[in-house]
Structure formats: structure tokens, C-alpha cells
Chain A
Amino acid sequence: MELRNRFDVGVFAILVELVPPKGVDISGMLRVAGRLADRVTAFVVPDMGAAVMRLSALGAAMLLQGRGLRTVMQVCCRDRNRLALQGDLLAAYAGGVTSLMVVAGEDLRFGDHHQAAAVNDLDLMELIEAVGVLAAGKDLSGAPLEGAPRFLCGTTVNVGLRDAALDAELDQMHCRAEAGAGFFVTTPVFDLESIGPFTARADIRRLNLVPTVMLLKSLGMARYIQRNMGHIHLPAALIERLQKAPDKTRESLRIARETITAIREAGFKGVLISPMGWEDHLPELFEHLE
């Protein structure tokens, strides 16, 4: 079922982030996707996430769609001007991609090509608007299109903020929804209670909120998140659980499974699983997930 329809009828969507290879060997990506296909609503293909150069999101999404696998293609503002963005959006739709996730893109200094020039011709809000303009059958210059792409276009939202920063984020989310954003993928959530201040003020069903569940690959990673990522709340109890567990991998998957179940029970429309390189453990994760 298409992601859009899932959201409409309220069947819980399971999205999995699938990072394209750095190189032309796509066998690993296809193997992972093939193994998970029947449990996953769509694969979210990052657009050079963390500003690391890889096979493009457009290329990877088309390769997956061509093999009957559904995708959500990420599009970032950082690397292309409005001509390239529009052209790639047309190509994606013509190639079978119907869902997008638009993101601003991390700064180049966080990636592996520090010397590059950033583009940022359109900002996130302008890109969301542009997707709407294309859907209405025009390009950004006002010229008519031969066939219009009608994407379901999502974006991101930071749910871990507090006080004035949270007010501003909520405001921005509502502006983006008004501009046409059809779903919102959240920052990683380890504990639903911690995002209470956000969920109390956002209609999670109408806005199609999709929390991200990130797999904790190690105790070190969990500690790093807890110490360094102020807007992601990782409860001390989770760290303790991991610490005490004899089989940390199994425990980590159990934690993810519990979070996914809690997310579904809380009425969210879906979840995005970010495997962080643990794609091979996903079958085990799904096996015990009702």
C-alpha cells in the first residue's frame, strides 16, 4: 500500500532508512531491501545524509522502485539549485517515486567534502512550496509542465525542544503543514514521555507524525547521545538495561521493539527505523514485532 493511503486509512506505516552505497556496488543495498520488503512500507533513502558523498538518493530510489520496492526519497536544499531540484523531482516521479522527505541538509563541515561550495538556492520552506507548485502543473518560472508530479511530501521536526525553542518549532511545523508537508519525521525518540511537551501541543494523527527509532548499536553510542545531544532524551534506565544485559544486541533490539510498540499504541501513524548500519539485525527485530 502506498504511504499516502496508509496515512489516510490509518494503517501503521513502517519506514526503514536505507543508506545508498559510497560507490557503485548496489548489491548490499538491494539485498537488505529484498530481505525486508514484506515488512516495510517504504525505504527512506537519504540524500547524502551528514553531508557524506554517496550514490544519490534519486539514483538509489529509482533503482529500488525499478525492482518493485517502495521508497521515500529525501531531497536536501544544500547541493542543488532550483533547476536541478525541479529536474530531479520530475525524474523521480517519472521513475515511480511518489513520496518525498525534504530536508535542509547538514552543513558541509560535518561531512567528507569540507571544501565544497554549498548551494542552498531554495530553503526548506521554499522547497516545500516548490513541490506544491510542481503538483499544480507549473514549474517555478510559471511554465506549464507536461504531466505534474503529485508527491506526498514530508519533512522533519525536532520534538526534543523545550520552552521558546519548542514554540518556534511548533510554529514552523504548522507553517510547513500549511505549505503542503504531508507528514513529519521526528528526531530520534527513545522515550515517549520525554516528548510529552511536544505531543501535548501537536495533533499527531492529523499531521501524520512519524517518530524515528534509532538502533543503539553499543553502550558507547547510547552514552554519547545522552551526553552530547541535548535535544534527544535517552533515559538513564535504558543505559542501565544495556549495561546489565548479557546479550547487548538482543537487548538493544528489544528496546527498539518496545519503543515501536509504544509508538503504535500512542496513536502515531508510523515509525521510521534508523538502523545505523545494523540492517542485518532488522529481520530479528521484525520477527518478534507484532
Chain B
Amino acid sequence: MIIADRKPLEEILEMVHDCGSILLVGCKGCVTVCNVGGLKEVEILAATLRIARKKEGRPLEVAQRVLERQCDPEYLEPLRNDYDQFDAVVSMACGVGPQFLSEAYPSQRFYPAVNTRFMGGAVQHGVWEERCAGCGACKIHLFDGLCPIARCSKSLLHGPCGGSAGGKCEVSAEIECIWDKIVRKKMENGRLADLRVFRPAKDWRTSRDGGPRRSIREELVK
């Protein structure tokens, strides 16, 4: 899923500084699962914004809504009747949400309330980690299910760099060296020879380097 973090309150207050009323829109997709933009978080942010603005002596009217998903035009319809009744709309979905909203309702201004971080999952309660960089040509089977593109700081594909020490990455002691893990796993499974294979330089066209991407599933296109 897509992992996001809430923006600092000051930044959101700054965005809506000139507004007298806003509509705060959450999403029941990824951001609900990673506890950043679902019903509960929408309620908390709405209350916090109201209190902060009241303290400033310039009350802010905050309406709230949670959509099924913001990355699907059909689920944006519930906003059609009143999206323009507010000075701005603040989305708590990942970066896709405010963009779909802007495209659906071009006359309104949309602001992001979260910073979209990465594709990953929860490794413990309250901790999420990156697992995939969306390179568009998955190769994890070659690395025993551990992705060096997303998880090695240098996206190395031919073994660890010289900075790998004690299972940690040279970038920070907080970061595990994924190559240390890959090599250990290969050794345990007797597949170390896999790593002696030279692979030609990666084709980055399937990644962002080919420009913004599109996926077309012919059988579903009407």
C-alpha cells in the first residue's frame, strides 16, 4: 500500500491561511490503513484546525467527508453538489487524491494534507517500511524476494557496496543493509552462485525515466 505522513499542522494552517471555510476530505484506501487520512484522522485534523484558528481569532469553518477512494473518478461524485461551497478543499489522501479531485473539479483549489512517502507495509504496529520503488520490471525473484532497488540506498544490483558493516547500511545505523540480508539468505539456501551472474545495466525505461506511466488493460477498456 501507499504510505503517507500527516503534514505538520503549521504547514496546513499556512495553506488555508486565507480561507474562511474548507472541506476536509479523507480516503478509505491506503491512508486509512496507515492511519493518516481515514475517518479518525479527518476528525482529529478538523478539530485541531478549528481550535487553532479560533485561538487566532479568525474561526475556520471545517466540513468533513470521507470518500471510498480518491483515486477513482466515480467515487468523487459525492462532492459534486457542494465542492464549490468552500474556499478550498483539503485532501488527506495520497498525492493521487488531490490530483484526481483537481481534474474532476477544475474551478476549486485543492491542498494536500499529507506527504506521500512510499510503497510498503507495516512491520510492527505504527511502523511502516518501504518495499517497492515501482521500477516497472520486477526482479525480486533474483534476490530471494528482497528488493535492492527499493531497499538498498544505492539501488545496487550486483552485490553490496564497501560500506556494508554488521548488517547495517553505511547511510545510517538505522537502516539495514538489504544486501547483507540477500547474501545471507542466498548462503543459507545454497544459492550464492546466483550472485555471480552479471546482468547488463538495468533498463530504466519502465521506471520513471520513461516519463509518467500508464497501464492499459485492454480487456477492461470499454
Q: Tell whether A203 is near chain B: CB-to-CB under 8 Å.
A: no
* Nearest-Cβ distance from residue A53 to partner chain B, whole angstroms: 13
Q: Which residues of B contact A109 (CB under 8 A)?
A: 205, 210-211
* Nearest-Cβ distance from residue B135 to partner chain A, whole angstroms: 10
> In the bound complex, do residue A117 and residue B207 qualify as a contact, i.e. CB atoms below 8 Å apart?
yes
Q: Tell whether B204 is near chain A: CB-to-CB under 8 Å.
A: yes
* Nearest-Cβ distance from residue A121 to partner chain B, whole angstroms: 13
* Nearest-Cβ distance from residue A123 to partner chain B, whole angstroms: 15
Count, chain B residues at interface, CB 8 A:
9
Residue of A nearest to B202 (CB): A115
* Nearest-Cβ distance from residue B210 to partner chain A, whole angstroms: 7
- How far, in angstroms, from A107 to B210 measured CA to CA in the complex? 9
- How far, in angstroms, from A114 to B205 measured CA to CA in the complex? 7
* Nearest-Cβ distance from residue A108 to partner chain B, whole angstroms: 7
Q: Which residues of B contact A115 (CB under 8 A)?
A: 201-205
Residue of B nearest to A113 (CB): B201
Q: Which DSSP category, helix, strand, loop or mixed, fits chain B's interface?
A: loop
Q: Which residues of A contact B209 (CB under 8 A)?
A: 108, 116-118
> In the bound complex, do residue B210 and residue A117 qualify as a contact, i.e. CB atoms below 8 Å apart?
no
Count, chain A residues at interface, CB 8 A:
8
Residue of B nearest to A118 (CB): B209
Residue of A nearest to B155 (CB): A117
- How far, in angstroms, from A109 to B212 measured CA to CA in the complex? 13
User: A88-131: contact bitstring with B at CB < 8 Å (1 yes, 0 no)?
Assistant: 00000000000000000001110000111110000000000000
Q: Which residues of A contact B201 (CB under 8 A)?
A: 115
> In the bound complex, do residue A116 and residue B204 qualify as a contact, i.e. CB atoms below 8 Å apart?
yes
Q: Which residues of A contact B203 (CB under 8 A)?
A: 115
> In the bound complex, do residue B205 and residue A107 qualify as a contact, i.e. CB atoms below 8 Å apart?
no
- How far, in angstroms, from A109 to B205 measured CA to CA in the complex? 9
Q: List 18 A-B contacts (CB under 8 A).
A: A107-B211, A108-B209, A109-B205, A109-B210, A109-B211, A114-B205, A115-B201, A115-B202, A115-B203, A115-B204, A115-B205, A116-B204, A116-B209, A117-B202, A117-B204, A117-B207, A117-B209, A118-B209
Binding site for B on A (CB under 8 A): 107-109, 114-118
| Complex A-B, nearest 3 residue pairs according to Cβ-Cβ distance, in ascending order | A115-B203, A117-B204, A117-B209
